[in-house]
Amino acid sequence: MANGYPRAKYIGLPLQVPVWISYYTAWADKKGAVHFYNDIYGLDDVLYKQLSFPFSQLY
């Protein structure tokens, strides 16, 4: 991998292990304060466009 990151390595496991990957740009802490982070993948705009879709067009 570029820029000094570790190289990817294949590790075989005897059983399949489920892996969940989550990507959040906003998160509420235990006190309820919301923290915002940079959207490095540009997915917030995609999500916003999907949420802004007029549902009346579905029917």
Q: What is the pLDDT of residue 32?
A: 95
The residue assigned the tokens 């490095």 is 40
Reported as half-sphere exposure (CB side, CA atoms, 13 A), residue 52 has a value of: 6
Are the C-beta atoms of residues 25 and 38 closer than 8 Å to each other?
yes
Higher pLDDT: 32 or 7? It is 32
- Region 47-55: what's the mean pLDDT? 78
What pLDDT, on a 0 to 100 scale, did the predictor assign at position 48? 84
Kindly tell me if the per-residue pLDDT of 59 is higher than 80: no
Q: Kindly state the average pLDDT of the residues 22-37.
A: 94
The mean per-residue pLDDT over the stretch 28-49 comes to: 92
Q: How much is the average pLDDT of 18-43?
A: 93
Whole-angstrom Cα distance, residue 25 to residue 37?
5
